[in-house]
Amino acid sequence: HAGPHVGPMFPPTHPVANAPVGTPPPTVDGFVREFLHELTSNQGVSLERSTVNDQYLALAQTVRNYLSARWIETQKKQRTTRPKGVAYLSAEYLLGRQLGNNLLATGLIDIAEEAMKQCGLDIAVLRAQEVEPGLGNGGLGRLAACFVDSLATMNVPCIGYGLRYEYGIFRQTFVDGQQVEQPDTWLALGCPWEFAHPEHAIQIDFGGTIETYVDADGVERTRWVPEWNVLGIPYNYMVPGYLNGRVNTLRLWSAEATKAFDLAIFNSGDYAQAVRAQTFAENITKVLYPEDSTPQGKELRLQQQYFFVACSLRDYIERVLGPEFDLHELDSRIIFQLNDTHPVIAVPELMRILVDLKGFDWDEAWAVTKKCFAYTCHTLLPEALEVWPVDLLGRLLPRHLEIIYRINEEFLDEVREAFPGDEMRIRRMSIVAEHPARAVRMAYLATVAGCKVNGVAELHSQLLRDKVLPDFSQLWPEKFTNVTNGVTPRRFLRLANRGLSELISSAIGTGWVTDLERLRELEPYAEDAEFRSAFRDVKTRNKAKLNEVLIARDGIELGQDHMLDVMVKRLHEYKRQTLKLLHIVTLYNEIISGRLDPKTVTPRNFVFGAKAAPGYLMAKQIIHLINAVGSTVNADERVGGVLKIAFPPNYNVTLAEKLIPAADLSEQISLAGMEASGTGNMKFQMNGALTIGTDDGANVEIRRLVGDENFFLFGMSEPEVAELQAKGYDPGTYYESDRRLRGAIDLIGSGHFSGGDRGTFGSIVTNLVTVDRFMALADYASYMDAQERVEKAYADTEEWTRSAVLNVARSGYFSSDRSMRDYIQRIWGTPPAF
Ligand code: 8GP
């Protein structure tokens, strides 16, 4: 790969060392003064009269003041050095709480803690007051948050662009075991981390028609005559690097009406009509679409997508680069990374800007555009690939549709030239699908326009080339590349697992926080009994903390001294939460039918966390079943408490930070060839859980790194899955021939978990036995075997700990810093700036 040389990351320095000139070093006294000042001047209350929310806001303000000086400094330097930067375009950022991370990044954790103590406050209580911004669904959104953290830490200029949803991912509650969605009112008590800039509002157009005209030079040109518009208001968030003085920007857009209010109509007494335009406009950023891995063909969603990329392109071109900049050189200053297909409408938008507004001729504009975009695909599910009906596009963005048609025409000419006479291929590859209805395939548009296309783990990138986009990879093999996902060790190890972090640092120093490969130096400690014992103590303490959290949060009490077996991720059939359930129900069934003595079973807590898309009925039924099995098994005295099932509602980043450090066993059990990568799998490994998993997504790379002896592999491989599918898969044969499996499924079907009602979970049972699209039954026996190996291994405490330590020691590759280095070398060409 030709790319710039990326040297070692800048060594972390103490923040004081590179604080802006004139900034006094932080002291506890100074911090107390600042905090009290914020409390009185911003919240307008005295310490004695303040609420926890006041205190949290004042503390956040104090940290924010400290960061904003560095933020301004970063921008100032960038204006003079003009480096190439990354614009990460993502409809989702699942940020998690900000306070702890920002304290960590500034090196202020201890000072702030002591300062709060001197004020008579417990910083943990203040931190718990923060509501996390849930502006994402799951893996894709959390990945974006990890990436911007890593770029800041690695000193790479980056702007994250996205949407400021007024309501993020819904808050999940359970009513009689069934999911009920509540609005996520994350802004209700104020968000201290955002900076609104209404004076930089950008007008975004929609609808209308296109017309041709002859310009001053006699050239025939096209222009868009839009019908309506809204304003995009930027809200800026600081993205601090870890102890390096850099603060990058996350810019999220909020929609407002151009004309908020019609006074004449209001005065006439029609109040609803007077604010109609406002309501209409503000709907664009009202809520996050709670869909994960399914496209939502909703007009409002297309509005959101166009709104945010149009704002972002205009912002970068007009405000960051400025009117003097020669846009022919655009790729020297920016790469727009498309996080899945949600932002792909940016491609025709850039073409429109260059051709219609800046007077480029088409070929010139296309040459620039092709160099400025790169596309990351995050899925393998064919039904998850976004497609926009031509009718809708034409109505909402008529000029963009026309541009897409022309891109397609020229692209298909290129295909014709490469494969003369192959009309089938032309039809397969067309950006515009003709059946079932005319529609634009956004993944194809992204592939045609992008300078690079990447998958998110080795297996995924290979399947992307071979199965999802085979015609494209044949035409342009050099366009395709892989960047395996990663996660930020700052949030998911240093911050979430303070005990383990301190243990690691006491053994190998603190360098691992920004150079995670250094965890390798822990390998010899796996052989050190004292270290292993300390490692176990950390796990035990993390479990105790988790217990406290779950009791306070949900009144859930886990079994004491149980193995902690965790499956947390969005609820999807391909992820196979049902397979996990079949394991649990089998154990339960064997116990209550007297074939298994509970005293011989390793006591386990099974913890689930999962949200189902509100319209995904099967997923919701599976949630219901997990809860039903949980309440039945937990209450059954015959089990003697050895199996304990917990399903805390509303799994989010905050809960992940408590669950993952406490886990012993990480469940990564998707059908091979379905999970693009997974990132939870990496977080568990990094925190010393062992994985039971299929050869899918990044599990493949995890297993290769930790070694077979430190990983519980089971199930079919992807080629085996393909073979079985080709042969014709019949789940019924597995059901018929496996007594334990049949027993478990029959128990569910019998109404045992639904008060005798066979109907409640009938569709799950029928689906499993007759369809089972994700082959849970085919992998069941192998999964049960692997679980038996888990039991045996767990019984040998020293060996288990040894494996756990090696898992941590070999997790360095899964730092998102490494992912960023790969993007820089393979795709972006944006070396660290200063
Ligand atoms: C997820 C993948 O399912 C997961 O394996 C991967 O780790 C993560 O992306 C980050 O790369 N994909 C999605 O969340 C996704 O496809 N979302 C839908 C909107 C397409």
CA end-to-end span of the chain, whole Å?
24
Dihedral angle sign, alpha carbons of residues 790, 793, 797, 800: negative
Query: 296 or 778, which is more confident?
Result: 778
SS3 609: strand
Interval 271-328: pLDDT, tens? 888 888 788 889 999 999 998 777 888 999 999 999 999 999 999 999 999 999 999 9
Question: Which H or E element spans position 235?
Answer: strand 228-240
CB 384 near ligand 1, within 6 Å: yes
pLDDT at 252 over 70: yes
Whether 483 contacts 454, CB under 8 Å: yes
Which pLDDT tens digit goes with each residue over 17-39?
Answer: 345 544 666 899 999 999 999 99
Helix (H) or strand (E) holding 266: helix 263-267
Distance between CA atoms of residues 793 and 712, nearest Å: 10
Among 65-69, 736-740, 828-832, the least confident range: 828-832
Cβ-contact 544, 531 below 8 angstroms: no
pLDDT given for residue 35 in this prediction: 97
Q: State the DSSP H helix or E strand holding residue 473, giving kind and residue range, or none if neither.
A: helix 470-475
Report the DSSP beta bridge partners of residue 250.
160, 237
Those residues whose C-beta lies under 8 Å from the C-beta of residue 606, and which sit 6 or more positions away, are 565, 567, 580, 584, 643, 644, 645, 646
pLDDT at site 831: 75
- Closest atom of ligand 1 to 293 CA is 18
Q: Mark out the alpha helices in 710-815 (DSSP H runs).
A: 718-727, 731-737, 739-749, 762-770, 776-795, 797-809
Residue 199 CB partners (closer than 8 Å, separation 6+): none
Active site residue 658: no
DSSP state of 602: P
3-state helix, strand, coil in the chain (%, to 5): 55, 15, 30
Ligand 1 atom 12, closest CA: 378
Ligand 1 touching residue 378 (CB < 6 A) = yes
Compute the average pLDDT of residues 752-772: 98
Average pLDDT over residues 655-662: 98
State the Cα–Cα distance between residues 629 and 505, nearest whole angstrom.
42
* 235-251 per-position pLDDT tens digit: 999 999 999 999 999 99
143: CA distance to ligand 1 center in Å?
9
Cα(397) to centroid of ligand 1, in Å? 27
In 10 A of CB 762, how many CB atoms?
15
Q: What average pLDDT does this structure show over 246-271?
A: 88
Active site includes 570?
yes
800 in helix, strand or coil? helix
pLDDT computed for residue 6 by the predictor: 39
Neighbours of 263 (CB within 10 A): 9
Q: For ligand 1, atom 4, which residue shows the shortest CA distance?
A: 678
Cβ-proximal residues to 238 (8 Å cutoff; 6+ apart), any chain: 64, 67, 68, 71, 102, 193, 247, 248, 249, 250
Contact 607, 327 (CB under 8 A): no
Question: Cα torsion at 152, 155, 157, 162 (round to 10°)?
Answer: -10
Give catalytic status of residue 821 as yes or no: no
**Active site annotation includes 569:** yes
Please state, in angstroms and rounded to a whole number, the distance separating the CA atoms of residues 440 and 445.
8
Instruction: For the chain, list the domains and their CATH numbers.
Output: 82-96+132-485+820-828 (3.40.50.2000), 539-730+757-810 (3.40.50.2000)
The rounded radius of gyration (Å) of the Cα atoms in the chain is 27
What distance in Å separates the CA atoms of residue 448 and residue 431, rounded to the nearest whole number? 9
**Which residues does 197 contact at the CB level (< 8 Å), separation at least 6?**
233, 234, 235, 236
pLDDT of residue 269: 86
| Residue 5 pLDDT class (50, 70, 90 cuts) | very low
- Answer for the pair 508, 522: CB distance below 8 angstroms, yes or no: yes
The verdict on the CB of residue 629 being under 6 Å from ligand 1 is no
* Cβ atoms 800, 793 nearer than 8 A: yes
Q: What are the C-alpha distances in Å from 337 to residues 347, 394, 451, 816, 823?
A: 11, 25, 10, 16, 10
Catalytic residue among 575, 580, 624, 703, which? 575
pLDDT of residue 19: 52
Q: What is the pLDDT of residue 813?
A: 98
Residue 184 has pLDDT above 90, yes or no: yes
Q: Which two tokens stand for residue 409?
A: 């025409």
Task: Give pTM, 2 decimals.
Answer: 0.96
Dihedral angle of Cα 470, 472, 476, 478, to the nearest 10 degrees: -60
Closest CA to 717 of 656, 782, 799, 638: 782
CA 395 vs CA 298, 398, 498: distances in Å: 13, 6, 53
pLDDT of residue 633: 98
Q: Are 522 and 504 in contact (CB under 8 A)?
A: yes
Phi and psi angles of residue 11, each rounded to the nearest 5 degrees, phi first: -65, 140
Note the pLDDT tens digit of each residue in 38-55.
Answer: 999 999 999 999 999 999
Average pLDDT, the chain: 95
Which pLDDT value is given to residue 439?
97
For residue 293, what are the CA distances in angstroms to 113, 371, 384, 385, 613? 41, 28, 5, 8, 9
| SS3 state of residue 510 | coil
Structure tokens at 159: 């702007």
pLDDT band at 1; cut points 50, 70, 90: very low
Cβ 677 under 6 angstroms from ligand 1? yes
The 8-class DSSP code of residue 546 comes to H
* Reported ipTM: 0.98
Per-residue pLDDT at 13 exceeds 60: no
Q: Distance, CA 344 to ligand 1 centroid (Å)?
A: 16
Separation of CA 138 and ligand 1 centre (Å): 7
DSSP tally for the chain: helices H, then strands E: 33, 25
201, two tokens: 């509002």
Q: Which residue type sits at 170?
A: F
Q: Give the pLDDT mean for 127-139.
A: 98
Q: Which residues pair with 337 in a beta bridge?
A: 88, 374
CB 488 within 8 A of CB 816: yes
Sign of the CA dihedral running 10, 15, 16, 19: positive
**CA neighbor of 78 nearest in space, from 358, 371, 316:** 316
**Count of Cβ atoms closer than 10 Å to residue 407 Cβ:** 21
- pLDDT on residue 20: 52
Q: Alpha-carbon distance 607 to 554, whole Å? A: 13
pLDDT in the model for residue 23: 60
Which one of the listed residues 106, 679, 694, 830 is annotated catalytic?
Answer: 679
pLDDT exceeds cutoff 70 at 8 = no
Ligand 1 in reach of 687 Cβ (< 6 A): no
378 is a catalytic site residue: yes
Residue 291: what pLDDT?
87
Buried residues in 360-399 as b, exposed as e (16+ CB within 10 A): beeeebbebbeebbbbbbbbbeeebbbbbbbebbbbbbbb
In the block, tokens 């399903």 appear at 647
With a 6 A CB cut-off, is 816 part of the ligand 1 pocket? no
Q: Is 473 touching ligand 1 by the criterion CB < 6 Å? A: no
Tell me the CA distances in angstroms from 737 to 472, 656, 777, one per residue in order. 43, 39, 11
Q: Spell out a b/e string for 489-499, using b for 16 or more CB atoms within 10 Å of the CB, else e.
A: bbbbbbbbbbb
pLDDT, position 117: 98
Rounded Cα–Cα distance for residues 495 and 488 (Å): 10
Give the pLDDT band of residue 557 (cuts 50, 70, 90).
very high
CA distance 303 to 288: 12
Out of 142, 604, 683, 821, the active site residue is 683
Asked if residues 490 and 149 have their Cβ atoms less than 8 Å apart, the reply is yes
Binding site membership of 386 for ligand 1 (Cβ less than 6 Å): no
Give the contacts of 234 (CB within 8 A, at least 6 positions apart). Answer: 196, 197, 200, 201, 202, 251, 252, 253, 311, 315
754 lines ligand 1 (CB under 6 A): no
Six-digit token pair at 198? 């209404």
- Taking the centre of ligand 1 as the mean of its atom positions, its distance from the CA of residue 749, in whole angstroms, is 32
Supply the DSSP symbol for 445. H
Write out pLDDT tens, residues 324-373.
999 999 999 999 999 999 999 999 999 999 999 999 999 999 999 999 99
Q: In this predicted structure, what is the pLDDT of residue 276?
A: 80
With a cut of 80, say whether residue 595 has pLDDT above it. yes
284 touches 230 (CB < 8 A) = yes
Q: Quick one: average pLDDT of 177-199?
A: 98
Residues 622, 617: Cα–Cα separation, whole Å: 9
**Options 441, 532, 570, 620, the catalytic residue:** 570
With a cut of 90, say whether residue 691 has pLDDT above it: yes
Ligand 1: centre distance to CA 384 (Å): 10
Contact in structure between 642 and 603 (CB atoms under 8 Å): yes
CA of 232 to the centre of ligand 1 (A): 27
Q: What percent of the chain has pLDDT over 90?
A: 91
The token duo for 168 is 């993020």
pLDDT of residue 7: 37
Fill in the amino acid letter for 509. G
